[in-house]
Amino acid sequence: MTVAAGTGRHRVLDLTDHLDSTGFTRPDATDAGALNIWGNTFAAGDLPAGHPRWLVDGVPFRTAEAGGPDHLRCRGQYLEVPIGRYDWLHLLATAERRTEDPVMLHFADGAVDPEWLRVSDLWPGGQAHFGEAPALRGSRLHYPRHVQANMRPTLWAQRVAVPRRTPLVGLRLPENPALHVFAVTCERPPESPEASCA
């Protein structure tokens, strides 16, 4: 069950029940997570001030507390969202090599539309191939047995359009384990009745 919190135009999804992987680790336990087959992770020390609350380009996100599972790998999970009209789904995500797949958007009237989720590479040197904003440029990369200071991984802030002007009830993530999702926030239209009542 996915619950949500937030005020104004944004609804921050609680992904707690879906978290299955650890992407941020402490320097004394760098083998406690894995963002790829080599066991690399972000440094917990790179988490921004205010964590687990994030603000990226004006969009609020909430990630898990550090020290345990903090994200999900996309394996076809269904995420409920608070029923409502939305323009955008914002995600904090990264990928093992850049990749893309449709997300299935489920609407209250039974309609389902595929929309693209596109995420650039975690790996140092990776560009914002899909035009995302970098949410975090790590200062170093954790390996299971050491910390590499000159490798800077990236967590991306990406968004998925919600073109249909009817209430959204949920989304089905793709079956693509290369995609790692840390947070999801839904953004309402600027002048919808729901937004003005929030």
Binding site for another protein (CB under 8 A): 36-39, 73, 95-101, 118, 121, 123-127, 129, 141, 143-146, 148, 150-151, 175-178
CB of 99 to another protein, least distance (A): 4
- Show the CA angle centred on residue 47, arms to residues 72 and 56, nearest 5°: 80
Q: In the complex with another protein, which residue's Cβ is closer, 125 or 190?
A: 125
According to DSSP, residue 132 is labeled: P
CB of 94 to another protein, least distance (A): 12
CB of 140 to another protein, least distance (A): 10
Q: Which two tokens stand for residue 95?
A: 């990928």
Strand pairing report for 141-143 and 146-148: antiparallel
End-to-end CA distance of the chain: 22
Q: In the complex with another protein, which residue's Cβ is closer, 53 or 146?
A: 146
CB of 178 to another protein, least distance (A): 4
State the Cα–Cα distance between residues 60 and 131, nearest whole angstrom. Answer: 19
Q: In the complex with another protein, which residue's Cβ is closer, 52 or 144?
A: 144
CB of 51 to another protein, least distance (A): 26
Q: What are phi and psi of 185, to 5 degrees?
A: -130, 135
CB of 132 to another protein, least distance (A): 14
Per the CB < 8 A criterion, the answer to whether 173 and 181 are in contact is: yes
Q: In the complex with another protein, which residue's Cβ is closer, 38 or 78?
A: 38
Q: In the complex with another protein, which residue's Cβ is closer, 75 or 165?
A: 75
Per the CB < 8 A criterion, the answer to whether 81 and 172 are in contact is: no
Q: Give me the amino acid identity at 53.
A: R
* Neighbour tally for 108: CB within 10 Å: 13
Q: In the complex with another protein, which residue's Cβ is closer, 28 or 57?
A: 28
